[in-house]
Structure formats: C-alpha cells, structure tokens
Homo-oligomer: A and B are copies of this chain.
Amino acid sequence: MTTQSLTRNQGLVFDVLSHAGSPLSAYSILDKLRDDGFRAPLQVYRALDKLLEFGLVHRLESINAFVACAHPDEGCHAHGLTAFTICETCGQVTEFHDHMIEDRLKGFAKDRNFKTGKTTIEIRGTCAGCA
C-alpha cells in the first residue's frame, strides 16, 4: 500500500494523523479538516475505515482515537499483532510487536477452537517523560 494511491479525503485524514503527535478522535480530525471542505463525521469515518483496512492507521479502542501507523511504508499488516502503550498524560503512543505474546494468544485461541479476528492490546499509563 502506498500513500500515493489514496483518495483526496483519505490523504487528508492520513496527513492530519501523521503530523499529530498523539492520537486524535474522529471529531477532532473533522475540525482540522473544515478548511479543506470537510463538513460531516462520515467523511472522516469513511476515510478512516479505508486507512485501517490498508494498515496505515490504527484505532485505539480504549480511548476511541486513531493514530498513524509507525511504519506506514509497509502497511502495518506486515508486522503481525500490534500492541500499544498510551501515555494518559501527554498522549504519546508507542507501537510494538511481540512474537511471543502473539504466539501465546494464538495458542490460547487454537486450543479452544476460537477463530481469531482483530486483537487489541493496549497498555495505558504514564510514559518516561511524564513520570
């Protein structure tokens, strides 16, 4: 997935997320794109849906917000399970990948014949800089 093949709206949303230092809600993305002609939440949600599908953006379930992927060139889907630390003070998000955890969760699911879809791992807390 390259950033070239995005539509105008997808590109605008991705750009906003890429330049934000922290996660943004759909509505704050909307606010930032008013000048670019955005008027309704759906314009943002539709673009986000596609960006999520492409692996360019992640949704943080525990805070209802979105961040650009840390390595969008490959599309994050290449990296398997993605986990996050989220600083509740400054909003800093760190994305990481741990094969051991991934295997462990896969194993648990397999043992129970549970067919795994999307998996969420989010650690909320305080980052080193804010401690």
- List residues of chain A with CB under 8 Å of any chain B CB: 61-62, 83, 85, 87-88, 94, 96, 98, 100-101, 104-105, 108-109, 112-128, 131
Contact = CB atoms under 8 A, between A and B. Distances in A.
A61 B122 contact: yes
Given A101-B101, A120-B120, A96 B108 contact: yes
The 8 closest A-B pairs by CB, nearest first: A113-B128, A117-B125, A115-B126, A61-B62, A116-B125, A120-B122, A61-B61, A119-B123
Given A100-B100, A115-B131, A62 B120 contact: yes
Contact of A128 (B112, B124, B127): B112
27 contacts: A62-B120, A85-B114, A94-B112, A94-B114, A100-B104, A105-B121, A109-B123, A113-B127, A113-B128, A114-B126, A114-B127, A114-B128, A115-B126, A115-B127, A115-B131, A116-B123, A117-B123, A117-B124, A117-B125, A118-B124, A118-B125, A119-B123, A119-B124, A120-B121, A120-B123, A120-B124, A121-B121
